[in-house]
Each structure stands twice: as C-alpha cells, then as structure tokens.
Amino acid sequence: MAIARPRRLLGRIAAAAWALAAAPALAAPAYSDIEPILRERCVVCHSGPAAPQGLRLDSHAALMQDGARGPVVRPGDAEGSELVRRIKGTSQPRMPLTGPPYLSDAEIGRIAAWVAAGAPAGAAAAPPPARKLPEAGEPVHYGDVAPILLQRCVKCHADQGLMGPAPEGLRLGSLEQALQGGERVAIVPGSPAASELLRRITGQSQPRMPFDGPPYLGDEEIRVVRDWILQGARDDQGRAAPIPVGAPVRLQGRLEGHWRIDGLELYLPPGARIDKRPQPGDTVELRGRVGEDGRIRVERLRRR
C-alpha cells in the first residue's frame, strides 16, 4: 500500500502534464478584442482630423501612429504605454474625459494584456457605421449632438481638460452638464440666438470655439446644434428641456435697430444699464437673465 500511492500520484501528474501539453495555446489578444471598448468609450472623441492631440483610436494603424506627444502604445510594455496609463488614471487627466464612470477593471485589463502581448493587429475588424446627421426638418435629439460636443468641445470643457479645469465652469460631457452651464447658461432651449453655445461655434461671440480651430465645426454640424436648441434641446426620449428662468447669460453680437442683436430681440426693463452709447452696427456685449418666456432681460449693454 505504501508503494501504490506514490505510483498513483505519479500517474496523475503524468496525465495532467500530457493534458497541458496537448491543450492548444491560448491565443494572444488582438486588436479586434479591444476595438469594441475603444469604439464605445474613446472613438467618439479620438477620430477624424480634429482628434485631440492628433491621436486617433479608430483603427489599429491609427492607434500605432504617434500623436502630438509621441506614441501612446509601446508594444510589450503596458505600464509604459500612455494609453494604459490614461485609462488607469496613472497619468492625468484620466480618460475618458466624460468619466466617471471610467473603464472597468476587466476592460482595462484586456487593453493592458493586448499591449503586453505586443499590440498585434490580428484580423481586421469591421469598420463602425458612419455617423449620420439628421436632415433639415427632422427631429434632433441629444444623441445626435453628443458626438459633436464630445469630439470638438469636451477636450477642454471637462473637469480636467486640456486647459485644466473647465473654462468658466462649463462642462459639456453630458446633457445635464450642458444644460446646467457654468458661470452662466450656454443653452436657452427654444432660442438658438440666445444660446452662447451656438453663438460661440458660429463666431458671433468671441473667441470662436472650438478654441483650437480652425477647422471649426462644419455647416451641417452647426445646423444640427441649432436645430437641437430650437426644438427645445430634447433628450434621447424626445423630452424638451425646461427654460432656465432667471439664469445669467452673456452674449456678444452686432446691434441691429432698436435693441436687437443679430436678430435676437432684447427686453430692456427700467434700470437696465447702457454704456458707451452703442449704435446700430456696433459690436456689443450684454449681460442679462433669462425671462419666463425665454427672452433675455438686459441688465447691462455696452459697446465693445
């Protein structure tokens, strides 16, 4: 009996060793294994000619090219790759800028394993469908506008964007943030002309946005943003946003006729302050508040 047990143990070890040797080797992770993660969480910003820092993540070839600050993937070195460091938060700002939520531990682990395995391309993944903008006259929801804001605006207008904290407190990473505004509201649902967001991307208010333009937003992108605001800045369920009654605004534009700027009719209540005698044709700046009907009640108007 004392001899049989070791023999049985040796037999089991030999069988296990044979099974391990006969099992197929696990395939190294390929780009196609991480592409769905990048497409869902990263490509909305990091694609096209306006990708932040020139870094595109919409294909393996683009990812392996250097961005403005050098390579973000160092094949075989996950901890030394900026892509991994950013999604883990080792380097700041942590990505994606719209987080939290950030990538899950499992998603981060999958990307890190791909880099550690040498960042292989593997089989080519099917390209994602091209983004289609709503036609003129069609309903526009936040989901139609979000890719525009995320790709061109959030790189600065986030808690830790390229310029540090969001300029003037305006964050644009979600519908709630966009409607909330910062030091003042940027969107007045139903009134594009009273919305600083639209006036900035068209250049009616200065400096024109995005700050790293040109290129600025295309005509169709601007039209979609305008239609979205005009239709009430609706969410993805089609619900219009409430008018931010009493919220502060600051607008720039060209004075037209009797208290209008760029077609926007203003309301000057008694006591409104008028500085530097603005005349029709002058560039002016106004500060005011949103009235119950969405009209702007001027508190101060001055020639610039």
Instruction: Specify the higher pLDDT residue, 167 or 124.
Output: 167
Last residue in a domain, options 230, 257, 280: 230
Residue 223 lies in a domain: yes
Task: Give the pLDDT confidence of 12-55 residue by residue, as tens digits.
Answer: 444 344 333 333 334 568 888 899 999 888 887 888 777 887 88
pTM: 0.75
Q: How confident is the model at residue 126 (pLDDT cuts 50, 70, 90)?
A: low
Residue 123 lies in a domain: no
Give me the pLDDT at residue 127, please.
63
Q: How confident is the model at residue 10 (pLDDT cuts 50, 70, 90)?
A: very low
Give me the pLDDT at residue 21, please.
38
Whether residues 202 and 253 fall in one domain? no
Task: Give the pLDDT confidence of 67-101 residue by residue, as tens digits.
Answer: 778 889 999 999 999 999 999 999 988 998 888 89
Whether residues 211 and 273 fall in one domain? no
Residue 35 lies in a domain: yes
Last residue in a domain, options 182, 202, 230: 230
Whether residues 39 and 90 fall in one domain? yes
Whether residues 105 and 64 fall in one domain? yes
**Interval 264-291 mean pLDDT:** 95
Whether residues 155 and 226 fall in one domain? yes
Residue 241 lies in a domain: no
Residue 127 lies in a domain: no
Residue 11 lies in a domain: no
For 255, the domain range is 248-303
Whether residues 151 and 72 fall in one domain? no
**Total structural domains within the chain:** 3
> Would you give the end-to-end CA distance of the chain in angstroms?
102
Residue 179 lies in a domain: yes
Whether residues 205 and 177 fall in one domain? yes
The angle subtended at Cα 161 by Cα 159 and Cα 167, nearest 5°, is 70
Residue 112 lies in a domain: yes
